[in-house]
A and B are shown apart, each in its own frame.
Chain A
Amino acid sequence: MEIIFKNVTHSYEANSPLEGLGLDDVSLTIHDKKFTAIVGKTGSGKSTLVRHINALLKPTSGTILVGDREITPETNNKNLKPLRKNVGMVFQFPESQLFEDTVEKDIMFGPMNFGMSEADAKKSAHKMIELVGLGKEYLDKSPFDLSGGQMRRVAIAGVLASEPETIILDEPTAGLDPVGRKEIMDLFKNLQEQGRTIILITHNMDDVANYAEEMVVIHDAKVKAVGKPKDIFNDRSLLTDDILTLPRSAVFAQRLAKKNFSFPQLPITISELTTEIKRQVHGD
């Protein structure tokens, strides 16, 4: 599903002295079956932006098109299930959504709300628990006996179990260990390769460089830039006023540039960096 924002503005606590702009006239297209990263500093409006896609927030003005479903300020709260089934959302610290007495039941909760039969939901739970890297033996445990990272995986499985076409991830790897974070990111990349649309909010520029095909930079409730990560990380105007930081490989390349190397385009991943260094050292 293609997702189109048309002049979307959202103000929190509209018509009161505490009014604050969450989004300011945002127009944006998120392409079908692509891996899109959304970046921007704390409080820039990233979470506000993605909450509009499954109508948890409604725009104060403007419209959002999700496939053929239109969300406007007048959209009411009825009949949103089909939309929310298609747009899965993993929140910042999703472990706070766990409540059932076993992991299995908790994973089945979403799919059954969306009308999946108990047998199918169970099947889905068994598949997803393995997919997120926990064994079947976890299914009978209480979610509250797990470690933080394991809870995170269960919560992610609970969202994937409804088989959404579009998956929104709000800093899904915050607080995970490096190996765990790579596993989870690889999982999302795999899901995308199987034909899903992935929208990832992250503060980790290496993840953006390694996984994303498209990138959206949000700054002060506005869209500052949209494009390929490679182009955006090479745009000097964005790097100056602390809107954006660079991936590690690009930072490394900048240092090498001071020592007789030259990079017309900054490499953004480790493999790009090593290829470029080899080329310049061996001169071929």
Chain B
Amino acid sequence: MNKLILGRYLPGDSIIYRLDPRGKFLITFYFIGIVFLANNVASYGFLLLFVLFAVYISKINLGFFIKGLRPMLWLILFTVLLQLFFTPSENPLWHWGIFTLSTDGMRIAAYIFIRFVLIIFISTLLTLTTTPIEISDSIESILKPLKVIKFPVTQVALMLSIALRFVPLLIDETTKIMDAQRARGVDFGEGGIMQRIKSFVPILIPLFVSSFSIAYDLAIAMESRGYKDGEGRSKYRVLSWSKRDYMALVVMLLITIILLFIRSY
């Protein structure tokens, strides 16, 4: 249950932790966008160096990022193999039926692989250094202009932060219920497919019951503390944009220029 590194915050302190979450959020998406600009060894190498540098200054062990690849392993393997054996080529090194192996194929497969690594590392960096609450605060702040078209920004942000708060709660609850049913002789992941599906009923029902009761309690608690619609509320956590956040934007700009240069080189 606790193996998912992607999407999990790791308490710590470094310059990356101190960046404004809004900036980090936007930069991460921006970076994922410019990854697709890379088109040769030098540009991929440059981006990889940048990401490794970012990991280095975050002061987080590289092992965490490598673990982040694990849930995506099959997808990565599948895509890479597809490129490796199915890239059409004029002068293949090896050919058998529908399979073709060529230097082009190998090169493209390697690019795809690096692209995965870049995207996963940079998003892992965001989630490891930014609490879910900060992320939902940033989304609220970024969506704010949509208020003009009557989009319920504060309500959506509240729903988002409640949903985020429920994730660890539900994971704990699931572990507890699974343990209780295991002690009553349920074997998860044994027997045929029907057997396996059936073994989830004793988890799902109690899970539904307890999530409803938690949600109900939460609603009552919020109402009894006078929550109405969230309009005009001041903030407990105030986001502040500082010099280093401008710096981060400048760095991104430089990266883009250098990338465009290497790309056409």
Contacts and interface: CB of A to CB of B under 8 A. Distances in A.
A99 B201 contact: yes
Interface stretch (A85-93, A189-197, A202-210, A233-241): A85-93
A6 interface: no
B202 A99 contact: yes
Contacts of A91: 176, 179-180, 183
B89 to A, nearest CB: 43
B70 to A, nearest CB: 13
Contact of B185 (A18, A110, A144): A110
Contact of A89 (B2, B10, B183): B183
A16 to B, nearest CB: 8
A113 B181 CA distance: 10
A81 to B, nearest CB: 6
A110 B206 contact: no
B187 A99 contact: no
Nearest to B186: A113
Nearest to A89: B183
Given A13-B2, A91-B179, A109-B202, A97 B184 contact: yes
A80 B189 CA distance: 13
A87 B189 CA distance: 21
B208 to A, nearest CB: 9
Interface string B209-237: 11000000000000000000000000000
Interface in B173-206: 173, 176-177, 179-187, 189-190, 201-202, 205-206
A159 interface: yes
Contact of A94 (B61, B180, B186): B180
Contacts of A144: 209
Interface string A36-74: 000000000000000100101000000000000000000
Interface residues of A, number: 29
Contacts of A77: 187, 189
Interface in A112-144: 113-114, 144
B206 A84 contact: no
Contact of A96 (B61, B173, B183, B190): B173
B179 A99 contact: no
A52 to B, nearest CB: 12
A160 to B, nearest CB: 11
A81 B206 contact: no
Nearest to B202: A99
A77 B210 CA distance: 27
Given A17-B61, A109-B202, A96 B177 contact: yes
Contact of B183 (A13, A54, A98, A99): A54
A269 interface: no
A97 B202 CA distance: 8
Contacts of B173: 96
A71 to B, nearest CB: 14
A99 B187 CA distance: 16
A206 B186 CA distance: 35
Contact of A97 (B2, B61, B177, B187): B177
A22 interface: no
A247 interface: no
A144 B205 CA distance: 11
Contacts of B2: 13
Contact of A109 (B61, B176, B184): B184
Contacts of B10: 17-18
Given A17-B61, A96-B206, A99-B201, A113 B185 contact: yes
A173 interface: no
Interface in B1-54: 2, 10
Contact of B210 (A56, A85, A96, A110): A96
B185 A85 contact: yes
A109 to B, nearest CB: 6
A267 interface: no
Contacts of B176: 91, 96
B205 A159 contact: no
Interface in B244-259: none
Nearest to B180: A97
Interface in B147-196: 173, 176-177, 179-187, 189-190
Contacts of A114: 185
Contacts of B186: 113
Contacts of B180: 89, 91, 94, 96-97
A56 B186 CA distance: 12
A91 B182 CA distance: 12
A99 B206 contact: yes
5 smallest A-B Cβ distances: which pairs?
Answer: A113-B185, A97-B180, A99-B205, A110-B184, A89-B183
5 contacts: A13-B2, A89-B180, A89-B183, A96-B177, A97-B181
Interface of A: 13, 17-18, 51, 54, 56, 77-78, 80-81, 84-85, 87-89, 91, 94, 96-99, 109-110, 113-114, 144, 158-159, 162
Given A84-B184, A89-B183, 6 more contacts: A77-B187, A77-B189, A89-B180, A91-B176, A97-B180, A98-B206
